[in-house]
């Protein structure tokens, strides 16, 4: 039998796990962290372009080019939270980087605390209740979601012969519940969200609102910050 190393304060039930082959296999020693802002951010990342498809491994998928710097941040975050170094591999046929945490104990911990196993959409992808219970958790979770499944973009258009360069921020998901939750959290922090009619995207249009988003939520992904800096520097010329 094998026991988890540690549990969050609200993770009250002690879990004892029966090993399938006790004489041949064992669980690696890992840290199971208390609830925190960083854990909430990690859950946001996992709810993005990531998944748990078996009993022993959780995977985070990133663009190997655009998210190269961000992948290093996630690597350090995983190591800090769980005490082990994740495996990192690049798919040969596409620009996809996979960060994997191979640990049955970690997978059990993630599932027990609200991350769905298997098809995320079919299994009700949504922000877990423990994150919704605290304002700072909600903020860091949204940061993780936007950093993985969101983007900042520059939109150029001409009106009455005048050229305009506007800034936009978007988060996308096929989970209507998650879209509504993200929009509600943004509104709670005084940022006006807009949900597209098809219900798969949350947009922030006004520059003031986007600047306020960065001031409150910030970003751990240089892909997003670089677009803002490019827009800001162009206006300063």
- Residue 180 covered by a domain: yes
Residues 216 and 102 both lie in one domain:
no
- Domain harbouring 166, CATH code: 3.10.28.10
CB 171, CB 48: distance < 8 Å = no
Binned at pLDDT 50, 70 and 90, residue 59 comes out as very high
* Domain identity same for 215 and 180: yes
The set of residues, in sequence order, having a beta carbon less than 8 Å from that of 169 and lying 6+ positions away, is 146, 150, 151, 152, 153, 203, 204, 210, 213
**169: enclosing H helix or E strand:** strand 162-172
> What does the chain come to in residues?
237
Q: Identify whether residues 153 and 108 lie together within a single domain.
A: no
Interatomic CA distance for residues 231 and 83, integer angstroms: 38
pLDDT tens by residue, 94-149: 889 999 999 999 999 999 999 999 988 888 899 999 999 999 999 999 999 999 99
Does 133 map to a domain?
no
Say if 140 falls within a structural domain: no
Classify 62 as helix, strand or coil.
strand
pTM (two decimals): 0.85
Q: What is the percentage of the chain residues whose pLDDT exceeds 70?
A: 84
- pLDDT tens digits, one per residue of 14-45: 333 344 444 445 577 899 999 999 999 999 99
Number of domains in the chain: 2
- The closest alpha carbon to 74, from 42, 43, 50, belongs to 42
Domain hosting 154: range is: 145-236
- For the chain, give me the number of helices (H) and strands (E)? 8, 10
Give the pLDDT band of residue 93 (cuts 50, 70, 90): confident
CA atoms within 13 A on the CB side of 182: 36
């Amino acid at each position: 039998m094998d026991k988890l190393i540690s549990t969050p304060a609200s993770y009250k039930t002690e879990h004892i796990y029966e090993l399938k082959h006790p004489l041949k296999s064992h669980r690696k020693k890992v840290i199971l962290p208390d609830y925190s802002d960083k854990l909430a951010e990690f859950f946001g990342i996992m709810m993005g372009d990531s998944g748990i498809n078996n009993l022993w491994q959780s995977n985070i998928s990133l663009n190997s080019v655009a998210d190269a710097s961000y992948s290093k941040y996630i690597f350090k975050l995983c190591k800090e939270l769980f005490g082990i170094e994740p495996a990192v591999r690049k798919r040969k046929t596409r620009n996809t980087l996979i960060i994997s945490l191979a640990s049955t104990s970690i997978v059990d911990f993630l599932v027990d605390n609200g991350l769905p196993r298997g098809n995320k959409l079919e299994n009700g992808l949504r922000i877990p209740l423990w994150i919704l219970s605290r304002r700072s958790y909600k903020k860091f979770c949204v940061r993780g979601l936007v950093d993985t499944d969101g983007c900042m973009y520059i939109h150029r258009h001409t009106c009455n012969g005048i050229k305009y360069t506007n800034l936009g921020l978007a988060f996308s998901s096929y989970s209507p519940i998650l879209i509504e939750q993200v929009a509600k959290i943004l509104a709670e922090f005084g940022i006006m969200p807009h949900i597209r009619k098809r219900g798969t995207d949350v947009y922030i249009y006004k520059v003031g609102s986007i600047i306020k988003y960065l001031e409150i939520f910030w970003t751990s992904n240089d892909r997003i910050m670089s677009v803002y800096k490019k827009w800001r520097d162009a206006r300063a010329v």
